[in-house]
Amino acid sequence: MQQLTDLVARARADAEGTPAHRVIPIAPALPLTAGEGEVARILQICNACRYCEGFCAVFPAMTRRLDFGNKADTHYLANLCHNCGACLHACQYAPPHEFAVNVPRAMAQVRMQTYSDYAWPRAMGMLYRRAGLTVALALAGGLALFLVLAVALSGSLLHEPMAGNFYAIFPHNLLALVFGAVFLFVMLALAMGVRRFWREVSPANDSQNTPDLPGVRGPAGAEAARDALRLKYLDGGHGEGCNNESDRFTLWRRRFHHFTFYGFMLCFASTCVATLYHYLLGLHAPYALTSLPVLLGTAGGIGLLIGPAGLLWLNLRRDPAHGDTAQRPMDRGFIALLLLTSLTGLALLAWRDTRFMALLLAVHLGVVMALFLTLPYGKFAHGIFRCAALLKFAIEKRLPGRLRLGAD
């Protein structure tokens, strides 16, 4: 309707000789890629059927639209999809039906495209296509070998026990500088990417939305955070979980995601607490096994061992129709780095007071550096973009419907 109004205004201005700067512009629609066109085709069918409306957030968000020829809509809905597979097994139009409706696969392909499109810097978007298992292992192995050689050249890989004093091998300031710089770059790259995504799917000049936003931002943000933290949409819409290799529902994918996420956050919390100990309280490492940084790191390491191992097991068994099989190397590369990070970290904790501490420390730091370097250009990005999509959904559903059909 808005486009029709703009066209009428422009025609009237042209007819009356109105100066060009007063003509209401119409933003040209960008052509859809093949993947976006497939999402648009499938959602047009789904919007007529609506059998899966209660499964996840995608379908209620879909019903607020009449067509899906807008790139922003396909990007938003693709990142809102949690790839649980429930809609594929419930769909009467799924292959071998001639409509060939496969929502998880189409959405996964567009999600991958959005990661590349919104990458920062833009040239780094191509790294998503190369972030496979081989590259992940090669990067981790190369960095670990470099640090091992550095330690060997500056001293000895095998030494007298040092009571877990890591800074006797690598000075604290050096580690803080190198890993701090990498961490800041990772945060900047992810923030810039998701900022571009958000500006596309939630334009600030949307006059129908802007007046209502101040009253809904707080509740919507709280809801989006709650849904993300408990992985609400990995329950299949009925609380029984996702489909993996068959029609049978399972909650293990949700549970392993929880182990992974909260294990990662506990490790991050351990680092933050150790930083506060060092700079604020003047308490320097090594810390006792019963200290808060060590307890948090140990719990996080165990979570990062259980979660990624379980996700890898599910990934190897998953039905190929669930998602885009071309992305499995990227998935497994990220899982492998998480597993190696937890394994080497727990090994370092267990043998930190032995003559092998320097060797284990070099290997662990190499793996952690590889994990950090790949965070903005690998599977980790899906969590950031999905949280943004959940926030968009939480805001959108609190606003009045814009279709105004029938008695609306």
Which are the contacts of 289, defined by CB distance < 8 A and separation ≥ 6?
A: none
Q: Has residue 307 been placed in a domain?
A: yes
The pLDDT score that the predictor gives to residue 398 is: 85
Alpha carbon separation from 255 to 232, 252, 307, 387 (Å, rounded): 11, 5, 8, 18
Say what angle helices 381-396 and 213-229 make with each other, to 10 degrees: 140
> Within a domain: residue 286?
yes
Domain that holds residue 291: 123-194+234-379
At residue 19, the pLDDT reads 44
Residue predicted with more confidence, 220 or 211: 220
As given in the structure block, the two tokens for residue 238 are 């009925």
Residue 384 belongs to some domain of the structure: no
Q: Is residue 330 part of a domain?
A: yes
Kindly state the percentage of the chain with pLDDT values over 70.
88
Rounded average pLDDT over 65-74: 90
48-57, 198-207, 230-239: the lowest-pLDDT one: 198-207
Residue 28 in domain: no
Number of folded domains that form the chain: 1
Instruction: Give domain status of residue 136, yes or no.
Output: yes
| Confidence (pLDDT) at 125 | 86
Residue 23 has pLDDT above 50, yes or no: no
Q: What is the C-alpha separation between 188 and 191, in angstroms, rounded?
A: 5
Residue-level pLDDT at 218:
86
Residue 211 in this model has a pLDDT that exceeds 70: no
Each residue of 116-126: pLDDT tens digit? 999 999 888 88
DSSP state of 249: E
- Tens of pLDDT, residues 139-197: 999 999 999 999 998 877 787 888 888 888 999 999 999 999 999 999 999 999 999 99
Residue 321 lies in a domain: yes
pLDDT over 60 at 17, yes or no: no
Contact 85, 319 (CB under 8 A): yes
Give the pLDDT score at 41.
Answer: 95
What six digits make up the tokens of 265? 């956050």
- Across the chain, mean pLDDT equals 87
Whole-model pTM: value is 0.86
Residue 143, domain member (yes or no): yes
* CB-CB contact of 392 with 385 (8 Å): no
